[in-house]
Copies of this chain bind each other. A is one copy, B any other.
């Protein structure tokens, strides 16, 4: 059996309103429950780009921005930032991945036609959140509320998101900045639990001679953590250094389009004292319309001191996708 129905009332509200209290108590109750649940205009996650917006700060990537970014290409060196996705790629608890290669229509060893055509095809069955990925705005929310006032019950369908899907992400070609946190901390691999906040971000910028972070930029953090990949997968997936809450709000205040890291969790884990569970995800995805990029391999870029570059990204356009495999190309 199965049915898709929207309940306009939440159980909790119903129970509360069922209470036989005094009139005054009921009035107070109603007020508070309303404050907790109802959504003001605009709601907490409203986009500054209007109620129809589904891409957030990506709107800041204008032709002028792209044109200026293209001028950062001075050496012609292109980097692929994606790591490999397979069954051994470190992934969260229940995430699994399988690829199957087959030869359709060739059972019995036949080939096709006069030029003896043979071919392989492939099927994948697995979680998109394995390997290098972009988190779409349907990924993290606050009690069922996602970016731009979208509620889970309205757009999160079992066969795909009906809003905020990754297929909406336009062509990305903008200025990219690499913040070398390993360099800033003068270490090979920044220790897990190290939060990158405003002081660290500004410190790294100063050290690298990056004058400013601007609207529509993509900011990538290099922490050296990616060195652990394939060497200590358990440590790699369990924790990592990464962006803290203040740092996230600071970057958001500058209007960056996307933020990436060379880690699987993206944000600092263990979480900062007092922080919620993946609260930095909430701050960026839900509250600020900023996409996240995980497992970005910036190792070679860090070695090359490639601090500013043209960043391009075209994730697969799986309709209704929450996340997408992502292999950005950075060019300088």
Contacts and interface: CB of A to CB of B under 8 A. Distances in A.
Interface of A: 1-7, 10-13, 15-16, 18-22, 24-25, 28-29, 32-33, 36-37, 61-68, 70, 73-87, 92-96, 98-129, 131-132, 135, 138-144, 151-153, 156-161, 167, 170-173, 265-267, 275-279, 281-282, 294, 310, 312-323, 325-331
Nearest to A267: B1
B122 A125 contact: no
Contacts of A316: 82, 85, 131-132, 316, 325-327
Contact of A153 (B20, B68, B110, B121): B110
Could you say how many copies of this chain the assembly holds? 4
Nearest to A22: B25
A110 B7 contact: yes
Contacts of A10: 12, 109-110
Contacts of A266: 1
Contacts of A330: 171
B108 A151 contact: yes
Given A2-B95, A5-B113, A120-B322, 20 more contacts: A7-B112, A12-B15, A25-B25, A70-B70, A81-B314, A87-B96, A98-B98, A101-B138, A101-B156, A103-B107, A114-B276, A115-B282, A121-B129, A123-B127, A123-B128, A124-B124, A125-B126, A173-B329, A173-B331, A317-B325
A63 B75 contact: yes
